[in-house]
Structure 1
């Protein structure tokens, strides 16, 4: 779906920017969709020096545009891109990719506003793996391996790959974005965040557990957000109850990375691991986000929880309608699966869309208007919206 989105947006905007975590396939996608354009990586020192020292001469090499990989590495180029695309007037001229949201978006918002269409690209969705017969056979394998492309394209060992990924990419990006004096403390912070995936964010508690200040914890969390490692899901703003929780929930954007950080060494551990439910919820939320991002749309995901403990894991905002979703890691549907939904439906009234339960079993069911979807069929449910892999079935 991201390919279709890029082609569509390139017909209406002079610049298209693909963001996302490192190794999520941004370069591969850009070169595939825009194969006719020259490709330049600004990670290469000589190309970066050329672009920085003579930006006009650098851009003059590409009369019909180009794919500029890791564009945030040369922020001074953005103002010259603005002049170039304004003078040229053609759509789809330049394609930018970047793995650091802060620096790329700074350039976009300050100098290229209105000229750029932004498409975040997260790791593979389950639908993409199913389409090429590379999907893991069990939920435990899916949560353990995660969905980063290299693991599935090259059938790599997840434990080895994630170890290298954290060392070479996560820590490298951190050093470029903020001054981390004690890398060991930052590593502990990332692991502590993984232990809290799917939970309400308690920033003070997180800071205390890591031995850092509240301010430092907030800055480091912002870096993880900007690097597409974590996502903060806000509580819904509509006042269904005056005693609402107002803090966001923390989610990793890939369950495999979170599992590695938790020290999970093989898929079998996830059969009884205490974090199984949190990792399953992490995966479902990431699938919902991927479905939005791949269409060039911002997140429309929220959650609801009151101070009495009543909760709905996800509210999907669709205009004036809120679609409630419960996520359960058990394989047998029980009455308890519906209690949070029932409470919220009583409060929400006409705002409520049809309620859903996504669970770890294998049978699709409909119970008194509640639609129950097994994990393997999530890509074929209309929870993910219109488009390939989604239908309008109940």
Structure 2
């Protein structure tokens, strides 16, 4: 098992909540993490038809099987009604870290947890491997192009398999299983086309009408399918920050894939050399940076609190991180050699927002990190825990 930074958060939550929920995309390592941290607990997967039928038909006896050790219940979204029965069990036993549940379908699962286990559950969202986790086991790819091509799914770092082979089967399985579970898509081929068109827009402002037209579907269908991609942790939407600083701001969100490797594969990029000269290189690098920032926050058990900012005059900050007392700006540049005009956006934002001091960050595709004109310039290799 590759050690996960979220393990500390999972262990902390288990000391204060009767139930710990680990959610995230398929194959992100949820089950591996849960079983490693709670190796003393029995394990059951609701993907198993027999176990799922047992839990559905007789939930009381299903849970009664587990003594004071509790249990790890995998893929809980397959039997959400079990959560109501679980509430009664943990209320009676009053044991912290009693049950651990995992699931892949974000929206339905979170709604069920909020309704049935409010105040009783601590939740961690586990995305694919972060840069720090990959580096910790000495598996960091030698180049930025290779990293963007491979992404962060654990299987690509513990198995002898190419990204092309793995992503081909991942998408096929995702469409056949997750999509069918979440909505009734009659034409799976159209949905796959839609996913690819979304990959072509990663790092861009989302225009649902344009996206729907390019895919030959209605705008309402596009909105529904975007919800599916969010629910299964394929994409995230970065919202514009609510402050306008005296300027009319852009209100559309920006679309980002949560794994740059998956986005690269969907764009038909099959080798690192092609990726580094591809027109989407900048967008894929920005996608990777945004995903890294998300992982850092989620691994700590916190909300992402990430935004972007763009006004009608074309001034833009790629990412804004909101703290209790200030906004921390991030600019992202895929180039390998620093250029002084990269700081233009940060300086304009400081002037417009009235922020003259504080930390500003620039992440780029080069190999050295340093400070330039009051801005912390970070190599992609040295992103570290920028939000800690």
> Shorter-normalised TM-score: what interval?
over 0.9
Residue 216 and residue 353 in structure 1: after superposition, are their counterparts in 2 closer, same or farther (change >3 A)?
farther
The aligned residue for residue 288 of structure 2 is 283
Write the distance in 2 (CA, Å) between the matches of 1:145 and 1:58: 40
Query: Secondary structure of the residue that 1:327 maps to in structure 2?
Result: strand
Shift of the 89–192 alpha-carbon distance from structure 1 to 2, 3 Å rule, reads: same
**Deviation by residue 1:138-186 (Cα, 9 ceiling, x = unmatched):** 0000000111000111132000100000001244201111010111111
Q: 1:352 to 1:55 in 2, by over 3 A?
A: farther
Contact 1:27 1:69 in 2 (8 A): yes
Deviates most, 155-164 or 234-243: 234-243
Whether the 8 Å contact between 2:74 and 2:103 is mirrored in structure 1 is: yes
Q: Distance in 2 between matches of 1:77 and 1:71?
A: 8
| Mapped pair 1:162 → 2:167 | yes
Q: 2:387 is matched with which residue?
A: 384
Q: Deviations over 1:291-329 (max 9, x none)?
A: 010111111100110112110000011112111000000
Answer yes or no: is 1:316 the counterpart of 2:335: no
2:138 counterpart of 1:104: no
* 1:249 is the counterpart of 2:216: no
Name 1:42's counterpart in structure 2: 46
When normalised by structure 1's length, the TM-score is 0.95
Q: Structure 2: which 5+ runs fail to align?
A: none
**Aligned residue in 1 for 2:119:** 114
Provide the rounded CA distance (Å) in 2 between the counterparts of 1:86 and 1:352.
Answer: 50
Distance across 2 between alignment mates of 1:11 and 1:90: 9
The equivalent of 2:20 in structure 1 is: 16
The within-5 A match list for 1:58-137 is 58-64=62-68, 65-137=70-142
Are residues 352 and 38 of structure 1, via their aligned partners in 2, closer, same or farther at CA, if it must alter by over 3 Å?
farther
Question: Following the alignment from structure 1 to structure 2, what is the Cα–Cα distance between the partners of residues 319 and 152?
Answer: 37
Say whether 1:357 aligns with 2:362: yes
1:347 and 1:106 map into 2 onto residues whose CA distance is 39
- Deviation at residue 103 of structure 1 after TM alignment: 2.5
SS at match of 1:123: coil
In the superposition, relative to structure 1, how do residues 155 and 345 fare at CA in structure 2: closer, same or farther (>3 Å)? farther
1:5 pairs with 6, 9, 14, which one?
9
- Counterpart position of 2:35: 31
User: Once the 2 structures are TM-superposed, how far is the Cα of residue 363 of structure 1 from its aligned partner?
Assistant: 1.3
SS across alignment from 1:217:
helix
* 2:156 equivalent in structure 1: 151
Offset of residue 53 of structure 1: 0.7
Label 1:285 to 1:43 Cα distance change in 2 as closer, same or farther (>3 A): same
RMSD: 1.1
The runs of at least 4 consecutive aligned structure 1 residues that moved more than 6 Å come to none
Gaps spanning 5+ residues in structure 1: where?
386-394
- Do the aligned residues in 2 keep the contact of 1:230 with 1:252 (CA within 8 Å)? yes
Tell me by how many angstroms 1:60 deviates: 0.5
Alpha-carbon shift at residue 121 of structure 1 (Å): 0.2
Distance in 2, Cα, partners of 1:253 & 1:151: 16
Q: CA offsets, 1:39-85, max 9 Å, x none?
A: 00000000011111111100001122100000010111111001111
Shift in Å, 1:104? 1.3
| Contact 2:244 2:311 survives alignment (8 Å) | no
Shift of residue 351, structure 1, vs aligned partner: 8.3
Task: Map Cα deviations across residues 246-301 of structure 1 (whole Å, 9 max, x no partner).
Answer: 11100000000000000001111012100000000000001100001011111110
- Residue among 205, 221, 245 paired with 2:226: 221
Q: What's the secondary structure of 1:234's corresponding residue?
A: strand
Residue 111 of structure 1: CA displacement? 1.1
